[in-house]
Amino acid sequence: MVEAICRFPLKSAQGERLVRLYFGVDGPVGDRAWGCVAADGRIVSAKNPRRWGRLLEVVAVADETDVGGGRVMVTVPGGSPVEAGTSRADDVLSAWLGEPVTLSRVVPDGAGLERWWPSEEGMVPEWATARAGEVQTTEVAGAQPGGRFVDFSAVHVVTSGQLGELADEGVDADVRRFRPNLVLDIDVAPGPGSLIDVGDGLRLKVSVPTPRCAIPGAAQPGLARSPEVLRAIGRRRVDIAGYGRAAVFGVYADVLRPGTVNVGDSVTVSG
């Protein structure tokens, strides 16, 4: 069963919980449709929480009357909503983040972002060129010029079984730390190549387990900083084909057949 549907109109900002959402060939409509671009051309991401962690306190909501999820209202703490794509929004976000940024619906060519690797054991993946406590600039594998600001595949899925494992270990398992598009009530995370049928239409194919960064342990509204979460994730290292070992939680998936998803829809995993 589908437990929750989440959309994040602005990359690394707070998202919205929905009861119904259309998933197209490139993923949830309106999800990660906008990103902040820094003056140095990098995509702004809370994966470097020391520089951009305040973006996690920003709220972004898509206008439900826009079927493309294109009109997004952004609110910084203590402020009023401003529309993404306006100079006012750029000014407000720049002041809040302490550096000049521009909100964009266009992924820059050669898009890259900064990742700060946590010091908790297991959190630095084998492919990293920086050490724990250092910052590395990497490409955004899923972001394509003209597309969405996604890290890898079109859809990010977390299961109730995975969250339950964390809770059993005495770790804060609040799903907001993991920023999935779908929370599915199934016991285990489907493996690469598995098919996930949701409701009457949507079909997903799992690509890889989700490598984790610093964000699950970062402070955000209603959630304190939690190195315990990172330590728990660091114990969940697996080999990702073509990349090497990394700490994972959740799975990335691609859309094989688009469809509308509702909270409460049935879920079937095969393959």
Which class for 242: exposed (0-12), middle (13-18), buried (19 or more C-beta within 10 A)?
A: exposed
Q: What is the pLDDT of residue 152?
A: 86
What is the three-class DSSP state of 119? coil
For 57, other C-beta atoms within 10 Å of its C-beta total: 16
Indicate the pTM of the whole model: 0.94
For 130, other C-beta atoms within 10 Å of its C-beta total: 15
8 A C-beta contact, residue 266 and residue 199: yes
Q: What is the pLDDT of residue 108?
A: 84
CA distance 65 to 83: 15
pLDDT per residue as tens, the chain (271 positions): 999 999 999 999 999 999 999 999 999 999 999 999 999 999 999 999 999 999 999 999 998 644 455 689 999 999 999 999 999 999 999 999 999 999 999 888 877 899 999 999 999 999 999 999 999 998 876 655 557 898 888 999 999 999 999 999 999 889 999 999 999 999 999 999 999 999 989 999 999 999 999 999 999 999 999 999 999 999 999 999 889 999 999 999 999 999 999 999 999 999 8
Identify which of 160, 268, 258, 252 has the alpha carbon closest to the alpha carbon of residue 212.
252
Q: What is the pLDDT of residue 141?
A: 64
The Cα angle at residue 2 between residues 252 and 60, in degrees rounded to 5: 70
Q: What is the pLDDT of residue 242?
A: 87
Which class for 129: exposed (0-12), middle (13-18), buried (19 or more C-beta within 10 A)?
A: exposed
What are the Cα distances from residue 199, in Å, to 3, 20, 135, 246? 12, 11, 41, 32
For 56, other C-beta atoms within 10 Å of its C-beta total: 19
Structural domains present in the chain: 2-270 (2.40.33.20)
Residue 52 tokens, joined: 């951009």
Q: What is the pLDDT of residue 200?
A: 86
Q: How far apart are the first and last CA of the chain?
A: 18
What are the Cα distances from residue 118, in Å, to 73, 115, 159, 180, 230? 32, 9, 24, 21, 8
